[in-house]
Structure 1
Amino acid sequence: MVDNINKQQEEETAKYQGAEDNSPLIEFKGVTKRFGDTCVMDEMDLKMKAGDRLVIIGPSGSGKSTLLRVLMGLEKIDKGEIFFGSNPYITVDRKGRTRTDMSVRSKIGMVFQHYTLFPHLSVMSNLTLSPVKVRGMARSEAEDRAREYLARLGMEDKLYSYPGKLSGGQKQRVAIARALMLEPKLMLFDEVTSALDPEMVAEIEKVMLDLAKQKMAMMIVTHDMYFAKKIATESVFIAGGKVIEKCDPEIMFNEPKQERTRDFLDKVLHLK
Structure 2
Amino acid sequence: MKILVTGGCGFIGSNLIRHLVEKYPAYQILNLDLLTYCGNKENLAEIEGNPHYAFVQGDICDRPLVQSLMNGVAAVLHLAAESHVDRSISDPEAFVRTNVMGTQILLDAAKKHGIERFVHVSTDEVYGSLGATGLFTEETPLAPNSPYSASKTSSDLFARAYWETFRFPTLITRCSNNYGPYQFPEKLIPFFVTNLVDGESVPVYGDGLNVRDWLYVADHCSAIDAVLHQGKPGEVYNIGGNNERTNLEITRKVLGLMGKGEESVRYVQDRPGHDRRYAI
Same structural fold, with TM-score higher than 0.5 when normalized by the shorter chain: no
Which TM-score applies when normalising by structure 1?
0.30
Structure with greater strand share of residues: 1
Which TM-score applies when normalising by structure 2?
0.30
Larger RCO, structure (CA 8 Å, separation 6 or more): 1
